[in-house]
Amino acid sequence: MRDAVPADAFGMVINASTRCGANTGRQTCSNMDSKKVVIVGGGFGGINLAQKLSRNKSFQIVLVDKNNYNFFPPLLYQVATGFLEASNVSYPFRKFFQDKNNLRFSLGAFERVFPNEKKIATESGDIYYDYLIFATGTETNYFGMENVRKNAVPMKTVQDALALRNHVLRLKEQASKKTDAATRRKLLSIVVAGAGPTGVEVSGMLAEMHKGIFKKDYPELKREEVQIYLVDALPVVLNPMSKKSQEETLAELRGLGIEVLLDHAVKDYDNGIVTFANGKTIETETLIWTSGVTATALPGLPEDVLGKGKRVLVDAYNRVKGFDDVFAIGDICLMNADEKFPNGHPQLAQVAIQQGRNLAHNLPLWRGGKSPKAFEYNDKGTMAIIGINKAVADLPGLHFKGFIAYFLWLVVHLFSLIRYRNQVKTFYNWMVAFFTRDQSLRFIMDSKPEKPAH
Let me know how many helices (H) and strands (E) the chain has, helices first: 12, 25
Please state, in angstroms and rounded to a whole number, the distance separating the CA atoms of residues 250 and 259. 10
Question: Which residues, other chains included, contact 91 with Cβ-Cβ below 8 Å and sequence gap of 6+?
Answer: 69, 70, 71, 418, 419, 421, 422
- DSSP string across 334-360: EE---TT-TT---S-HHHHHHHHHHHH
CA distances for 323 relative to 297, 336, 367, angstroms: 18, 17, 16
Please state, in angstroms and rounded to a whole number, the distance separating the CA atoms of residues 291 and 399. 26
Type of residue numbered 177: K
Please state, in angstroms and rounded to a whole number, the distance separating the CA atoms of residues 308 and 315. 15
Q: Which domains does the chain have, with CATH numbers?
A: 35-66+108-139+294-367 (3.50.50.60), 146-291 (3.50.50.100)
Predicted confidence pLDDT, tens digits, the chain (454 residues): 444 444 443 434 444 444 443 333 333 344 557 899 999 999 999 999 999 999 999 999 999 999 999 999 999 999 998 888 899 999 999 999 999 999 999 999 999 999 999 999 999 999 999 999 999 999 999 999 999 999 999 999 999 999 999 999 999 999 999 989 899 999 999 999 999 999 999 999 999 888 878 878 888 887 777 899 999 999 999 998 999 999 999 999 999 999 999 999 999 999 999 999 999 999 999 999 999 899 999 999 999 999 998 999 999 999 999 999 999 999 999 999 999 999 999 999 999 999 999 999 999 999 989 999 999 999 989 999 998 889 999 999 999 999 999 899 888 888 888 777 788 888 877 777 776 666 767 888 775 555 555 5
SS3 state at 143: coil
Q: Which DSSP state fits 303?
A: G
Please state, in angstroms and rounded to a whole number, the distance separating the CA atoms of residues 98 and 96. 6
Nearest to 321 by CA among 310, 330, 332, 312: 312
Q: What does pTM read for this prediction?
A: 0.88
Nearest to 71 by CA among 60, 81, 61, 79: 79
- DSSP string across 85-124: -GGGGEEEHHHHTTT-TTEEEEES-EEEEEGGGTEEEETT
Please state, in angstroms and rounded to a whole number, the distance separating the CA atoms of residues 252 and 405. 13
Please state, in angstroms and rounded to a whole number, the distance separating the CA atoms of residues 239 and 219. 37
